[in-house]
Amino acid sequence: MFERTRGYIEKVVVQINNSYDNQLYDCCAVMCRRLIETLIIEVYEAGGIADAIKGSSGHFCMLAELVAILKGDARFNLGRNAEKGLDDLKRLGDLSAHNRRYNARRNDIDRVKSDLRVVSEELLNLAAMGR
């Protein structure tokens, strides 16, 4: 699904897969979070409307705001499953990145694998990178 998209996206996906295979589940969750953030930015850049997801500093918003903006943006009409998946992936990524007492486990990643696929495919299509 990610072949011939962007080199930096392909590398993140390789890191996601390698971290999962090597039982580095917090790493995997954080990299999934990074992938979703990147794909949301790609959607807005492909549409020529990247300013819609930038703050007053001119930098892209953080993931929570990116997700909220995308979900509320009628131009993209996200599917119900993609919207739920965005929330679940963000939550898991946040726990792994920001909660010092939380350690992701394999079942945590397995629980969101289908969400990652649904969200990724929808965002790739919206960014005109779908195959």
pTM: 0.95
Q: Which domains does the chain show, CATH number per domain?
A: 7-126 (1.20.120.330)
pLDDT digits (tens, 9 = 90+) for 29-72: 999 999 999 999 999 999 999 999 999 999 999 999 999 999 99
User: Residue 71 carries which side chain, given as an amino acid letter?
Assistant: K
**pLDDT classification of 79: cutoffs 50, 70, 90:** very high
Residue 60's DSSP bridge partners are 54
40 and 61 in contact (C-beta within 8 Å)?
A: no
Is 60 exceeded by the pLDDT of residue 124?
yes
- What pLDDT does residue 29 have? 98
Q: Give the phi and the psi of residue 73 in degrees, each rounded to 5.
A: -90, 105
CB 97 within 8 A of CB 62: no
3 state SS of 2: coil
Mean pLDDT computed over every residue of the chain: 96
Can you give the pLDDT at residue 129? 83
